[in-house]
Amino acid sequence: MRRHARSLPADDDTRGLVTELHEKSGYQLRIRGHLSQAEEIVRAVLAACEQLSREFPKVYGWQLGLTHYHLATIHLVRVEKDAAVAAYELAFAAFNRIMRELPNDAKLGEQLDTLVLRMCEKLYGAGISTAVVSLVERYRDCVAEARPENLAPHATIFSYGGTALLEQHKFPAAEAMFRRCLELREAREPNNWITFNTRSILGETLLEQLKYEEAAPLLLSGYEGMAARRVNIPGIYSNRLPEALQRLIAWAEAAGKTCDVQKGQKELDGCDS
């Protein structure tokens, strides 16, 4: 039987400090694997934050979102996927409300990026791709309406959305996500290998839609750009270059370019050796 969550004082000058300390202790218990105790504390913090955010929304609204985020992580560790998705949705809703009230706060915008990126990582890692897409779409709408002009959205978040859509064979929607991702990366880091990787993946979304002429320059420049920067590609991503070459070979096969297929296959064999 679940124990009742312990109450937190919410009627004196120390309530904010108490809430923060309880949240931190719940986090520490979670990372140590004491999930039941962690959940008890997090739910207590959640109850306090819900009350306090009604009285002081700008002060406690963000903490309310963080607490939903911590609760979602506990659910994911327990493989309670539906509960985790619901908690992440509540977390984002809380963050979104604050961003709309404080749209020019760059620090909050950066924190939003970090938290949404972590949510995408956790949801994608748990194989909940539909929730990834939903989260990225809500993030896209949020940053379009409430965002400091000098703070660009986080490109990797759109990459997660595009990858999830690509895996679902929703190619036009994946194309739109990767176009936004590429736009952001070309503006911020035009010579980074990951920008050329994004070009290659965008080419794949077009290839899957049989848009061969549009796909070709993206696939070719993506592969060549990565090949020229292969020494800068971290070892953990060493498969990205051969993947880009495989996309180029797939295009050559679809376009009936036998010589290019043979040439590409030889290069691919060299990558694998």
Q: Which residue has the tokens 């290069």?
A: 267
Q: Are 8 and 19 in contact (CB under 8 A)?
A: yes
The pair of structure tokens assigned to 17 is 């400090």
What kind and span of H or E run contains 258? helix 258-272
The answer on pLDDT for 8 being more than 80 is no
As a whole number, mean pLDDT of residues 165-193 equals 96
What is the pTM (predicted TM-score) of this model? 0.85
pLDDT mean across residues, the chain? 85
What's the token pair of residue 174?
A: 């994946």
Q: Which two tokens stand for residue 236?
A: 């953990």
Quick check: 23 pLDDT over 80? no
What does the alpha-carbon distance between residue 189 and residue 193 come to, in Å, rounded to a whole number?
A: 9
Tell me the C-alpha distance between 220 and 200, whole Å: 7
Residue with tokens 């176009």: 179
CA-to-CA dists, residue 136 to 38, 72, 113, 139, angstroms = 28, 17, 11, 5
Confidence category of residue 213, pLDDT binned at 50, 70, 90? very high
Q: Check pLDDT > 70 for residue 264.
A: no
pLDDT confidence of 38, banded at 50, 70, 90? confident
At residue 159, the pLDDT reads 97
Dist CA 109 CA 151 (whole Å): 8
pLDDT at residue 39 tops 90: no
